[in-house]
Structure 1
Amino acid sequence: MRERIERWGYAAYERLLQRELSGTPSHVAVIMDGNRRYARKQGVETTQGHSEGAETTEAMLHWCDELDIDEVTLYTFSTENFDRPEEQREYIFDLVEEKLRNFADADRVHEAEVCIRAIGETEMLPERVRGAIDYAQRRTAQYDRLNLNVALAYGGRAELLGAARDIAEAVDAGELDPEDIDADTVERCLYEGPTCDVDLIVRTGGDERTSNFLPWHANGNEAATFFCTPYWPEFRKIDFLRAIRTYQNREASWRTTRARRAVSLVQAVEDAELSKARQVLGRFCDALPSKERAAVEDDIEPVAD
């Protein structure tokens, strides 16, 4: 009876969270932390923690498809992970190889038109993993409905350092004028994979840090972050919906902040420009949702006097 009540409560809360969502991020990046700690808590082998974590990954991709999220980047194996014991590394490599090939052949992946790509120093990986990467990328290259970036042998500093070296070499060779270097130049030198900036970073396992993950695409975009205590194998759909709600609330806060800045700008302009500025401000505020528009109405009133 208790389990039935808990299931009912879970389902009801999930429906409530989904009704509260008014928008979803385009690009979600996930740090899937806690597989080993979950295994220790359950008193099972570390390998089982990774296996159950892989099942959570499959479930999350299904949630992303349901919610029309365009892009997902998974922090699967960092450059620091090469320091782990060989037995752990080899098991993870075996699991990554198996899952990449399974994903590439899965009907669900093809029905959802998922494009799989690997980002990172992939040449550091065993040949069998590189073969699986190549297979998955070739099998899904024609799709673009949901982009799945699998970060393997990935490190954010290594990515930026590599980009800096490429740019320096181009300048030294006379192929690039230093005056022409801009954000687009840097982006062209980053790992091929993410098609847009990260809107939301999710990290499980209790740690509140982003661990050198996508510094250009996430930190540069001031992505929303959601840290939660469940280990990755325990991560549920309601946790994911909470993460999206965090993103949604942050976006609402940013819109309100921008509206208030617009008010301040109008208040600062000369009288000769005031009429035009009021028109711009009015159109800006009309585009806000009603709750956010109400949040700046008190600031707007003095401008209208």
Structure 2
Amino acid sequence: MDGNGRWATNRGLPRLVGHRRGAARVSEIVKAAPDLGVKWLTLYAFSTENWKRSTEEVLGLMAIFARYIEREADRLAKAGVRMRFIGDRGRLDPRLQRLMAGIEARTAGCERLNLTVAVNYGGRDEILRAARKLAEDVAAGLLDPRHLTEGALAGRLDTAGLPDPDLVLRTSGETRTSNFLPWQAAYSEYEFTGTLWPDFTPEELAGIIARFGNRERRFGGVLK
């Protein structure tokens, strides 16, 4: 969901205004997703590298996350949206951690849309943490290193139990993946749009999904 800051700067507004507008756009996309056939939606909200931003912006973003959870909890539950978070929560404010755990528990039985939000997430960091868990299990005698499989590592990722993404979409005109789900997206399709996230509409998403539906996905094989 890239381009919030640039959206605000282009209008002579503080960057946090763009982030607040971006949060409002999240609500619109989440509402529209099920009707577009989307059952699993993952949003990259804050990366492990985003701590490099100014203290004001980081604190502002964390406050926006907290307000989103507080304001949207009832609506998400009523709409059948299950919310999960991936990423390393250890560095997050304890209150935010409690809010995250609370909405996860509250929406655990919802099935219309599975919404995953990546907060303090980085793909390399995720793989490193999973590798450490593997090493600890091997050292404890719980796992034979000769029998390691892709599934063993995948089962220790933050996304254990979740499907790999079919489509990865980045807004704002940047054409890089920025450490987003590198393991899981190995065979994903990609779309890059120049639209800044606050301007990204359900209609544009519908068009991208329609194009995705016309792609041939071979997963390394050959279509018969």
User: TM-score, normalization: structure 2?
Assistant: 0.94
Query: Given the alignment of the two structures, is residue 143 of structure 1 paired with residue 107 of structure 2, yes or no?
Result: no
Residue number among 153, 161, 176 corresponding to 1:186 in the alignment: 153
CA distance in 2, matches of 1:119, 1:148: 11
Q: Partner of 2:142 in structure 1?
A: 175
1:50-95 per-residue CA deviation (whole Å, 9 max, x = no partner) reads 1111111111111212123111110000010111111001110000
1:100-120 per-residue CA deviation (whole Å, 9 max, x = no partner) reads 1222122xx223311111110
Contact conserved, 1:149 with 1:193, CA < 8 A, in 2? no
Contact conserved, 1:104 with 1:135, CA < 8 A, in 2? no
Q: Partner of 2:89 in structure 1?
A: 122
1:165-205 per-residue CA deviation (whole Å, 9 max, x = no partner) reads 11112112211011221121111111156610100011000
Q: Partner of 1:84 in structure 2?
A: 53
Q: Partner of 2:222 in structure 1?
A: 258
Q: Partner of 2:208 in structure 1?
A: 243
CA distance in 2, matches of 1:103, 1:196: 25
Q: Partner of 2:39 in structure 1?
A: 70
- Number of residue pairs the alignment of both structures matches: 223
Q: Partner of 1:231 in structure 2?
A: 196
CA apart distance, 1:145 = 2.6
CA apart distance, 1:211 = 0.7
Structure 1 alignment gaps of length 5 or more:
1-31, 263-305
Residue number among 63, 69, 73 corresponding to 1:100 in the alignment: 69
Contact conserved, 1:122 with 1:152, CA < 8 A, in 2? yes
CA distance in 1, matches of 2:108, 2:212: 29
Between Structure 1 and Structure 2, the one with more helix by share is 1
Letter in 2 for 1:250: R
CA distance in 2, matches of 1:73, 1:142: 18
Aligned with 2:43: secondary structure? Answer: strand
Aligned with 1:250: secondary structure? Answer: coil
Letter in 1 for 2:60: Y
CA distance in 1, matches of 2:132, 2:116: 23
Aligned with 2:155: secondary structure? Answer: helix
**Identical-residue share of aligned pairs (%):** 36
Q: CA RMSD in A?
A: 1.7
Q: Partner of 1:58 in structure 2?
A: 27
Query: Given the alignment of the two structures, is residue 212 of structure 1 paired with residue 179 of structure 2, yes or no?
Result: yes
Structure 2 alignment gaps of length 5 or more:
none
- Structure 1: which 4+ aligned runs deviate by more than 3 Å? none
CA distance in 1, matches of 2:98, 2:131: 28
